[in-house]
Structure 1
Amino acid sequence: MSKGNNKKFMFVLVSLMVMSLWLAACGNNKTNNETNSAATNEAATNAPAATDAPTERILTDELGHEVTIPANPQRIVASYLEDHLVALGIKPVAQWSVPNGIQDYLSADLEGIPTIAYDLPFEAMTSFEPDLILMAYDGNVEGEKFDQYTKIAPTFTIGDKLTADWRGALLKIGEVVGKSEEAQKVLDTYDAKAKEAKEKLQAAVAGQSAAALWFVQGNFYIVSDQLSSGDLLYNQLGLTVPAVVKEISATGTGNWNAIPLEKLAELDAEHIFLINSGTDTDSQALSDPIWKNIPAVKNGKVYEYPSTSSWLYAGTIAYSQVIDDVLESIVK
């Protein structure tokens, strides 16, 4: 082979080698790209779905205020609404109180939680550094109070009407704090318990009547047939409403309405639940012949509970404890 031909041969050989390397590189890039693309697609397919993180929401309260609710409130004050908070697994930073006490039936759940006065003083509220304030009643935010509380923290009013409807109040609070599903589960669990209790009572004392009386400062109050513990006794548990309870409830305006001794003498209840807030000085009414001649009293069918019990309150926790009391007293 001549020298010139040798050069041509070497040039062709080098060119072929370069082209071969280029083709190999292209093939590898294509394979790598396909592999990477497949891996990316698989990763996208198998990646867990992104969860919705809590965000701020604007909700309208029962008085028409548009309130910006924090994404994940941690320091809540909800005076007189603690039953609902505890049921949802939330501990407030302060709990309702009056000069002579707190909601004792929640003491185990709210142990160590400091108190705030029922009228919610602004300085006291500020000291707890809340990030959300839930108000039970319209009067809590009347006049300029709402603006003053909103300077402390977002303030959402449940309102008189909804607070009286303990189921609605629980669901609304669940909505506000981002626990709507939990609130419904709490209600479902409670309803199952009430249904089971009703079946036990119907099997043991079907058709028998009962009344709840509150004795305080020497006076008697009888529960309404549609409110508070009366709603539980009659509508949920199926006990019979005495005629006197119907009569007083028809004209009464509160959960518990005053009943004079002479009207008490007409009480035809077969079972009486007595919430005794009396003292030694005013307990003489319980020795009065009128009281002693009531059939349930004469027959030993009076079941006494202290004022620290849950009978004076409403909510799934309060009512669950009342159900336990009723079954323990009546179903032997």
Structure 2
Amino acid sequence: MKQKFKFAAILMLAVFGFQLWAGGNRENSGTEVFAKVTDHRGRKVLIQKKPSRLVTPFYILSNTALAIGCRDIIVSGDGGKGGVRPFIKEFAPELAEKPVCGSAKALNLEALASVNPDLILVPFKAADQLPQIEVLGVPALVVEPETMENFFSYVEMLGKATGKNIEADKLLKFYNEILNDVAGFIKGEAPVSVYMNSRSDALNALSPKMFQAELIKAAGGKLVTEDIRDTYWTKVSLEQVHKYAPQVVVMAAGAKKAVALTSKTEWKGIPAVDAGKIYTFPSSVDEWDSPIPSSCLGIIWLADKLHPGKIPENYLETKVKAFYKEFFGKEKDLKSLNVE
């Protein structure tokens, strides 16, 4: 009851005492501005001062924030459904003790007000809550990193908004070097047809509109479900998968053991299954198929599966060690990440 009263009081103060951001593009004349940022809704957001209390309400947003050096200013906790994520335990365990301010689909407005933020990252699925969020008088950025372009622009956006431009540029340089290297390694190779399914259902197929579709393309693959026009994962029939006849099946990070498909009679006759070319994206610490910085490592890993012998020996190991040391300050290798 006290919490609800406190939240209501904060909202009332915000209404009468703060500047309303109204879409993020209202500006006080004569006031210095730390940064002007355009979010993924096209909103021009003014940030009056360098943020010291940042809300990153779910894993994909906090992962990137940590990679560019925002660890000390994050005031929100990890909201994973299955408890604290392995990534948080490994690289930022203190976030497990902070208030959970939302998820990928919605923000908890009461928890949000309680942490007194000065910059809020809003998942695009929660963008309909902007009117309530803006009442707090705090700049909010809507983020939708479901394409490679949007992931890169998110890194740039957050770097500018938090004053971490140098760190953001360093991350993008590392990522782009891998993209260029892999493209060179597999140059001239015919694209390998790939079917990708979600972690929960082998017949829940990847849409070409998703971030993972771009990872597959960058790794030298060709998504067989290009006929699907729905957003995100789409249910298909086993008959349709047989018609797709993929050369490789890739399962989303966290999916059940890939070998289970090879024991199912109804899946036999699919080239990938018959050849045993069924792989699951690494996910023991962070998920290499998500729109997060480590997806660059997922590109190398997948390119090696699709084009055996084309990725130089130890290239992935070298990049893994450099990546986690540079952006998360810890030594990791393929063995410690359970990467096969």
Residues 137-194 of structure 1, C-alpha deviation per residue, up to 9 Å, x if partnerless?
263453642234x25xx2322354x665111121111221123343233212211112
Answer yes or no: is the 8 Å Cα contact 1:61–1:156 preserved in 2: no
2:171 matches 1:186: yes
**Cα offset for 1:231?**
0.5
2:271 matches 1:298: no
Answer yes or no: is the 8 Å Cα contact 2:36–2:47 preserved in 1: yes
**Cα offset for 1:129?**
3.4
Percent identity (aligned): 19
Runs (5+) with no aligned partner, structure 1: 1-54
**Cα offset for 1:202?**
4.0
- The residue correspondences of 1:1-332 to structure 2 (distance < 5 A) are 56-57=33-34, 59=36, 61-62=38-39, 67-80=45-58, 81-91=61-71, 92-101=74-83, 104-105=86-87, 107-114=89-96, 116=100, 117-118=102-103, 119-137=106-124, 139-140=126-127, 142=129, 144-148=131-135, 150=136, 154-160=138-144, 164=147, 165-202=150-187, 206-234=189-217, 236-239=218-221, 241-242=222-223, 244-248=224-228, 251-254=229-232, 256-275=233-252, 277=254, 287-305=263-281, 310-317=287-294, 319-327=295-303, 329-330=305-306, 331-332=308-309
**What is the aligned-residue RMSD (CA, Å)?**
3.3
Q: Whole-Å Cα distance in 1 between the matches of residues 152 and 113 of structure 2?
A: 30
Q: Whole-Å Cα distance in 2 between the matches of residues 306 and 192 of structure 1?
A: 21
| SS in structure 2 at match of 1:79 | coil
Q: Whole-Å Cα distance in 1 between the matches of residues 155 and 252 of structure 2?
A: 25
Q: Whole-Å Cα distance in 1 between the matches of residues 244 and 83 of structure 2?
A: 31
TM-score by length of 1: 0.66
- Whichever structure has more helix as a proportion of its residues is 1
The corresponding residue for 1:4 is: none
Q: Whole-Å Cα distance in 2 between the matches of residues 163 and 180 of structure 1?
A: 22
| SS in structure 1 at match of 2:91 | coil
- Go from structure 1 to structure 2 and tell me whether the alpha carbon gap of 1:322 and 1:103 turns closer, same or farther (over 3 Å shift): farther
Q: Which amino acid aligns with 2:158?
A: I
- Go from structure 1 to structure 2 and tell me whether the alpha carbon gap of 1:316 and 1:215 turns closer, same or farther (over 3 Å shift): closer
| SS in structure 2 at match of 1:316 | coil
| SS in structure 2 at match of 1:253 | coil
**Cα offset for 1:328?**
5.2
Q: Whole-Å Cα distance in 2 between the matches of residues 323 and 64 of structure 1?
A: 29
Runs (5+) with no aligned partner, structure 2: 1-31, 310-340
Q: Whole-Å Cα distance in 2 between the matches of residues 184 and 136 of structure 1?
A: 23
| SS in structure 2 at match of 1:247 | coil
Q: Whole-Å Cα distance in 2 between the matches of residues 84 and 68 of structure 1?
A: 21
Answer yes or no: is the 8 Å Cα contact 1:84–1:315 preserved in 2: yes
More off after superposition, 87-96 vs 106-115: 106-115
Q: Whole-Å Cα distance in 2 between the matches of residues 105 and 293 of structure 1?
A: 38
